[in-house]
Amino acid sequence: MSYKFLSHTADLKVLVKEKNINNAFSNSVLALKETICGKIKIKPKIKKKISVKGEDLGSLFYNFLEEFLFLLDAKGFILSKIEMLKIDEKNFKISAEVSGDKTENYKFSNNVKAITYNDMFVGKKGKSFICQFVLDV
């Protein structure tokens, strides 16, 4: 995985640097998952299909991360892994198949309240695709 946690005054900032957009978005979600549950291994017992839309690449990224907070808070689902991810950059759509488990089977280390647009960056820098975001913890 190629993400790292950066220092931030009150919240948690994450920087993901990958060769392509699919890996960058996937690793961003894995960083979110690690923030929520630490190094706990989540069993891939439940499969879900998700689809997300955005107005631009930034809002698509935000909505994608937000979908996993929704699944956590409203549906009691915690991600194990992303099985398939398809990103339509022209129409700002994502479809994914993910696996995970019920939150009631685990104890979590952090409470992520929200994804924020603060210091958010999504795009190419040189040959890499970069995603940076801040989590309100």
Nearest to 50 by CA among 28, 33, 75: 75
What is the pTM assigned to this prediction?
0.90
Q: Report the alpha-carbon distance of residue 110 to residue 82 in Å, rounded.
A: 21
Express each pLDDT in 89-118 by its tens digit.
999 999 999 999 999 999 886 688 999 998
Q: What is the CATH number of the domain that holds 10?
A: 3.55.10.10
Tally of structural domains, the chain: 1
With a cut of 50, which residues of the chain have pLDDT below it? none
- Which structural domain range is residue 109 located in? 3-136
Contact criterion met (CB below 8 Å) for 55 and 72: no
Produce one character per residue of 26-49: b if its CB has 16 or more CB atoms within 10 Å, e if not. Answer: bbbbbbbbbbbbeeeebeeeeeee
